[in-house]
Amino acid sequence: MTGAMTGADRRTARDFVESSGRPRRVSILGSTGSIGQSTVDLLMRNRDAFTVEALTANHNAALLAEQAKALDARFAAIADPADYPALKEALSGSGIETACGRAAVVEAAERPADWVMAGIVGAAGLEPTLAAVRQGRIVAFANKEVLVCAGSLFMREVAAHGATLLPVDSEHNAIWQCFDFSRVEGIEKITLTCSGGPFREKSHAAMREATPAEAVAHPTWSMGAKISVDSATLMNKGLEVIEAHYLFQLAPERIDIVVHPQSIIHGLVTYCDGSVLAHLGSPDMRTPIAYALGWPGRTAAPTKRLDLADIGRLTFEAPDPERFPALRLAREALARSGGPTVLNAANETAVHAFLAGRIGFLDIAAIVERTLELMPDSNLDSLDDVYTLDEAARETAASLLDARGNSRIAQ
Ligand SMILES: NC(=O)c1ccc[n+]([C@@H]2O[C@H](COP(=O)([O-])OP(=O)(O)OC[C@H]3O[C@@H](n4cnc5c(N)ncnc54)[C@H](OP(=O)(O)O)[C@@H]3O)[C@@H](O)[C@H]2O)c1
């Protein structure tokens, strides 16, 4: 991907998998979320091939306990201490260790495992994902905000600790399956597809009045609330351009976006001879997760098989930059030092405010744009710099929310 998946790293991980002869030991950071639950579903269907070391959640103690029991996990960690009594009680007598707090989530990431799913949402996943990376693990990488906010510093940690990143985001997983890592000089560009989200055909006026319920009602994918809103603004695709830039080490102008409402083709790689390799599949995250779970082999997934005659038509269009400014904002941010960190922090703050009913849908991009304007460029020389800039950008975005009171920012 990557600095992470050099040939040497790939051989190391492959040798390990093929020679170990025992079930792969896995941990899931964010097991109660959408990605986490899909991963749990696959593990439940392949019990002989995997054992479970650790599972984590933020608040959902009941589901975490249920998963830990069903998978016979060794350790369950919940980030919010307020939810710890419920977890402890639900797992008492089970023999499953429990703990709470951010340190407990980091401990879950550090415990011995062959494969760790990074499935937490937002920059909150940075510390635990880094902890898994620093143990040199194979990390199935869904938590894109980690790469957006820490970029090359994160990739440097991956390389320094001999960790391996396996892209789980469906588009990046698709590119991974089509990307000839041994002949990168023959690759001209990659294309990430985008469903267009629930407002693809909505007017600017309708988008101004859009409710959180409408924004999270994604037409083709079933996902957590934050990424669903990001898909509605197309910020998700902007974050994915940044993610692809770091994973595949491609200049931003060699990463294209095309709207493809059916979500059947997930990613394409264009080669210098005009060949284009594409990855197709039903819009179900269990396919890319299964690919990462089984890598370098394959794990069966019970997803709907494609019937192209039944689907009939696959259509494509360019994204509308007027109604969806987030894509432009992401590319502009990527061109600035510290820009992606600011973009991500402002977006998380604005999406949270939108979901809480504090701002309108169009205000999300407006707040991100204004935060980017207000924040100077920052050199990020260390992860401490990342945390400091992330916090400053959140404060700036929050002050914009406070300043606006009940008046809308975006017209
Ligand atoms: N969902 C998809 O189809 C999809 C596709 C591609 C990429 N991704 C990416 O995968 C990541 C997860 O997405 P998702 O849709 O699965 O999100 P989600 O459904 O909201 O789940 C997030 C998970 O992270 C936990 N969590 C949230 N805040 C936390 C914190 N501060 N500390 C520790 N744990 C925390 C949640 O615990 P609780 O349940 O207790 O709140 C939950 O387990 C995101 O980065 C997203 O962009 C998702």
DSSP state of 219: S
pLDDT at 12 over 50: no
* Average pLDDT in the chain: 94
pLDDT at 248 over 70: yes
Q: pTM of whole model > 0.85?
A: yes
Pocket test for ligand 1, best of 58, 168, 344 (most atoms within 8 A of CB): 58
pLDDT of residue 410: 62
Query: Is 128 close to ligand 1, i.e. is its CB under 6 Å away?
Result: no
**What is the arithmetic mean of pLDDT over 266-278?**
98
Q: Which residues of 106-121 are buried (b: 16+ CB within 10 A; e: fewer)?
A: bbbbbbebbbbbbbbb
Q: Which parts of 274-353 are beta strand (E)?
A: 276-280
pLDDT of residue 220: 87
Q: Which residues of 332-358 are buried (b: 16+ CB within 10 A; e: fewer)?
A: ebbebebbbbbbbbbbbbbbbbbbeee
**CA–CA dist 239, 224 (Å, integer):** 16
Residue of 409, 216, 243, 203 lying closest to 324 (CA atoms): 203
Greatest alpha-carbon span in the chain = 63
Query: Is 67 close to ligand 1, i.e. is its CB under 6 Å away?
Result: no
CA of 30 from ligand 1 middle (Å) equals 6
pLDDT at 31 over 90: yes
**What is the arithmetic mean of pLDDT over 382-408?**
89
**CA–CA dist 296, 284 (Å, integer):** 20
pLDDT of residue 407: 54
Is 26:35 a contact under the CB 8 Å cutoff? no
Which band of pLDDT confidence, cut at 50, 70 and 90, is reported for residue 349?
very high
Determine how β-strand 115-118 pairs with β-strand 255-259. Answer: unpaired
Query: Is 29 close to ligand 1, i.e. is its CB under 6 Å away?
Result: no
Is 105:82 a contact under the CB 8 Å cutoff? no
CA of 216 from ligand 1 middle (Å) equals 14
Query: Is 235 close to ligand 1, i.e. is its CB under 6 Å away?
Result: no
pLDDT at 191 over 80: yes
Count of beta carbons in the 10 Å neighbourhood of residue 217: 12
Is 218:284 a contact under the CB 8 Å cutoff? no
